[in-house]
Amino acid sequence: MNMPEKEVQLPGVVASESELQGFLSKPWPSLVNMMKRLDGDIMLLGIAGKIGPDLALTALRAISEAGRKTKVIGVSRFSEEESRRRFEDMDIELVACDLLDPDEVGTLSRVRNIIYLAGRKFGTSGNEELTWIANVVIPANVARHFRDSRIVAFSTGAIYPMVAPLTGGCQEGEPLGPIGEYAQSCLGRERVFEYYSGVNNTAMSLIRLNYAVDLRYGVLHDIGRLVLEGRPVDLTMGFFNAIWQGDVNNQTLLALEQCTSPPTVWNVTLPEVVSTRAIAERFGEIMGKEVAFTGGEGPVALLSNSAKAVNVLGPPSVSLETLIRWQAQWLLAGGRSLNKPTHFEESRGEY
């Protein structure tokens, strides 16, 4: 089993954005060891979003600690003007490319290791066709061009049906049941990758992620902010899973060595089922705030069982209690927010 850092080495609070980035990009010893063995360079497709920059930095730090010269290349359209700036201090080659255009994809160098992050979620309602094209056609362009690479592709736990909390969440082999067109298109993304993995014998891993927590955004950020501002917390989605984004970065890169054809699927999240009510009450306790609620807990929620990833890729290094404490202090100190709400309360899959 891959062992991450011990929780004991973590600080009580995350005091600044540079400290946050430092923790988000801290490589596990097992990742450093993997980088000593890994053949070929690494390309991140869709690097300019919420996860890409710190994932890239995690890879760069692991490569440096491993004493290797592996190149990291980041691809995106860089449609937000500011987005290139986040890479200024990184030893990374940036390539502007619209992955929807097969001719542009054809110009990308065929590197050995691909991390696939591109996707579309918010704004789906009313523009469903844009989400389907992004989530289903880009994977086809990418899988065809990088047929000789290993590909780790982000997916989402939202493609499972909703289940009761007592089940402990869906396991990777269970029947799927995506609700709403965003989740359906993400299942489409998986199926396209799976198809090309089969016909071209391309080794792949699919990362079914539930809610990455990065303090500047995420489900804990959203619930904590409601509590801090004295606004009611919606209990419609009464339970969820979440995980420290630094742990997502490590598990995702470690999945490069576990790629297979057909693809290996990984549920990536903390092992525990989290109660929305209990989390809000804990924020209230830490922040010294009364907590108000709206709606009521339904009997089922979107929940994944991450036992396989914990056993093979390694256990997450940051516990839920530490995440809540960090998040509460971050909000109390007026830490920066990306202002990108998760819409965690959405139970009909409409984004």
Ligand X SMILES: NC(=O)c1ccc[n+]([C@@H]2O[C@H](COP(=O)([O-])OP(=O)(O)OC[C@H]3O[C@@H](n4cnc5c(N)ncnc54)[C@H](OP(=O)(O)O)[C@@H]3O)[C@@H](O)[C@H]2O)c1
Which residue in 342, 232, 341 sits closest to 284, CA to CA?
A: 232
Pick between residue 157 and residue 315 the one whose CB is nearest to ligand X: 157
3-state secondary structure (DSSP) of residue 275? strand
Site for ligand X in 132-151 (CB under 6 A): 134, 138
Which residue in 156, 161, 122 sits closest to 302, CA to CA?
A: 161
3-state secondary structure (DSSP) of residue 76? strand
Give the whole-angstrom CA distance, residue 5 versus residue 29. Answer: 7
CB 331 within 8 A of CB 224: yes
Site membership for ligand X, residue 119 (CB under 6 A): yes
Provide, rounded to whole angstroms, the least separation between the CB of residue 77 and ligand X: 3
Pick between residue 51 and residue 320 the one whose CB is nearest to ligand X: 51
Neighbours of 122 (CB within 10 A): 12
Pick between residue 20 and residue 66 the one whose CB is nearest to ligand X: 20
Give the whole-angstrom CA distance, residue 83 versus residue 80. Answer: 5
The span of 26-34, 94-102, 107-115, 321-329 binding ligand X (CB under 6 A) equals: 94-102
Provide, rounded to whole angstroms, the least separation between the CB of residue 76 and ligand X: 4
Residue 259 is given by DSSP the state -
Site membership for ligand X, residue 209 (CB under 6 A): yes
The span of 28-36, 93-101, 140-148, 165-173 binding ligand X (CB under 6 A) equals: 93-101
Amino acid at site 50: K
**Phi, psi angle pair for 139, to nearest 5°:** -55, -35
Pick between residue 219 and residue 331 the one whose CB is nearest to ligand X: 219
Residues 6+ positions from 166 with CB-CB distance below 8 Å? none
Provide, rounded to whole angstroms, the least separation between the CB of residue 277 and ligand X: 21
Pick between residue 52 and residue 271 the one whose CB is nearest to ligand X: 52
Annotate each residue in 154-193 with x if it binds ligand X (CB under 6 A) or - if it does not, as one string. Answer: x-x-------------------------------------
CB 153 within 8 A of CB 259: no
Site for ligand X in 48-87 (CB under 6 A): 48-52, 76-79, 83
The span of 63-71, 92-100, 225-233, 320-328 binding ligand X (CB under 6 A) equals: 92-100
Site membership for ligand X, residue 31 (CB under 6 A): no
Give the whole-angstrom CA distance, residue 315 versus residue 233. Answer: 30
Residues 6+ positions from 295 with CB-CB distance below 8 Å? 234, 235, 236, 345
Site membership for ligand X, residue 99 (CB under 6 A): yes
Give the whole-angstrom CA distance, residue 281 versus residue 278. Answer: 5
Site membership for ligand X, residue 98 (CB under 6 A): yes
The span of 31-39, 47-55, 249-257, 278-286 binding ligand X (CB under 6 A) equals: 47-55
**Residues that bind ligand X in the complex, under the rule CB under 6 A:** 46, 48-52, 76-79, 83, 97-100, 117-119, 134, 138, 154, 156, 209, 211-212
